[in-house]
A and B are shown apart, each in its own frame.
Chain A
Amino acid sequence: AQSVTQLGSHVSVSEGALVLLRCNYSSSVPPYLFWYVQYPNQGLQLLLKYTSAATLVKGINGFEAEFKKSETSFHLTKPSAHMSDAAEYFCAVSRGGYSTLTFGKGTMLLVSP
């Protein structure tokens, strides 16, 4: 079985501050890990994915995530938050193939001026 846990249903930051969204995974096999973003009234958009190549993965819009096997974590970071980053972020794990994607509950990122 596989699962992801996102710590914090809501995270608030000020514009220009560091963004850190936490994700821990559980998987019986080497996992593939994903971060998706969902803007209001829109579908999900892939930010980045880990597929067992480099452990530091760079994504779109300045986001990156680091796969840490020893900590079973895949936290999402961005050095400086922008108002346009306000959205819901989902971490997901797969054991291979999109049909096995398991999503976390999501973290709503709030950015204040």
Chain B
Amino acid sequence: DSGVTQTPKHLITATGQRVTLRCSPRSGDLSVYWYQQSLDQGLQFLIQYYNGEERAKGNILERFSAQQFPDLHSELNLSSLELGDSALYFCASSVGSGSITDTQYFGPGTRLTVL
């Protein structure tokens, strides 16, 4: 158990809908990262938040957005869902702002299925 929690574990929805994925980092960790793992694209970095502020952006679609709240939990919002958005979405956390000297801990993931 990494200490990073993600809810829900599974989510099934329809095209065009909007969903919210939630992540709670390990106690004391200030950075939260979101990744997408799909059969087509593999594992891709989406976005990072550090202490409530957006720190870095990767291959995140405009239909997706995220935020980190004062209690440091984070939410990833996916809207106008398409079949291709079906994937495993991972959250990870680290103590610092994303330096390689940090260790990054991954949650168990949320499996999103868009029908």
A contact set with B: CB distance below 8 Å = 32, 41-46, 49, 51, 90, 94, 96-101, 103-106
Contacts and interface: CB of A to CB of B under 8 A. Distances in A.
Given A44-B90, A99-B33, A49 B56 contact: no
A46 B100 contact: no
Contacts of B108: 41-43
A51 B103 CA distance: 12
Interface of B: 2, 4, 31, 33, 42-45, 48, 55-56, 58, 90, 92, 94, 98-104, 106-109
Contacts, number: 58
Given A43-B4, A43-B90, A96 B103 contact: no
B107 A99 contact: no
A43 B2 contact: yes
Contact of B100 (A32, A44, A90, A104): A32
Contact of B94 (A51, A98, A100): A98
18 contacts: A42-B109, A43-B90, A43-B109, A44-B43, A44-B92, A45-B106, A46-B103, A51-B101, A97-B56, A97-B98, A97-B100, A98-B33, A98-B94, A98-B99, A99-B48, A99-B55, A100-B45, A101-B45
